[in-house]
Every structure is written in C-alpha cells, then in structure tokens.
Copies of this chain bind each other. A is one copy, B any other.
C-alpha cells in the first residue's frame, strides 16, 4: 500500500469501474485481471452460461473464495513444513556442536598421546645410552681378562 489515496480505472467483465484507495494502480490491475480470468474460466462452462446474473455473481464469489482457501491450505502446509525444517535444523546444529566437541576431545587426546610417545622415546634413548655404556664398560673388562 502506498500512502497516497488514488483513483484507478479497471475493467471487470468488460465494465469500467473507478476504484479509490491506497493500493497501487499496478496491484489493482493485477487483481482485476485475476477476476477477469476467473470469469472467463466460468464462461467456458455451459452450467454457468445458463444461470442468471445473481447466480453468476455468487458462483464467481465462491470461486474466488475457493482459490483463497486452496492457497491458504497450501500456505498452512508450507508453514508446517517450514516448522519441521526449523526443528531439523536445530537438531542438526546440535549434532554438529556435539561432533565438534568430540573432535576437540580426540584432538587433545592425540596431542597427549604424541607427548606420551615422545616421553617413551626419550626413555628408550636414555636406556639405550645406558645399555651401550654398560656394554662398553664390560667389554674392556673382559678384554683385560684374556
């Protein structure tokens, strides 16, 4: 809706009407075109052509209301669908958070295990050094015994 009230000429069922309101001319022409399409659709039906004007008007109104209810139903379905998707997104984000936490823990564990390995390897080097020293000490002693 615009702020300025304006007059718009539309043709509905080949009759000219001047509508005064806040809606844009573009929108009102779209609405008029839609109503004319519904009238054209009804005019293809024998059952409609045989009716008096009053009954034709009522049938048009019912058809317009029917379109409203049909799209309203699709809208409600779409909203329900959108709500389910929101819940799914919430759950998926929760799962991602949980996986990231697990991953952080495992990465810390890997870091810790790598440190542990380095410690064990240091111990190994120390023990090998000690062992070599012991062996070197023993060999000359044997040598002296020969």
Contact = CB atoms under 8 A, between A and B. Distances in A.
Interface string A60-102: 1110111111011011001101100110110011011001101
A125 B33 CA distance: 92
Interface in A99-146: 99-100, 102-103, 106-107, 109-110, 113-114, 116-117, 120-121, 123-124, 127-128, 130-131, 134-135, 137-138, 141
A23 to B, nearest CB: 8
- Specify how many copies of this chain sit in the oligomer: 2
Given A110-B109, A117-B120, A72 B69 contact: no
A27 to B, nearest CB: 8
Nearest to A78: B78
A2 interface: no
B85 A62 contact: no
B106 A96 contact: no
A30 interface: yes
Given A102-B103, A127-B127, 16 more contacts: A31-B65, A34-B68, A74-B75, A75-B78, A78-B79, A82-B85, A85-B86, A92-B93, A92-B96, A96-B99, A103-B103, A113-B114, A120-B121, A134-B134, A134-B135, A137-B138
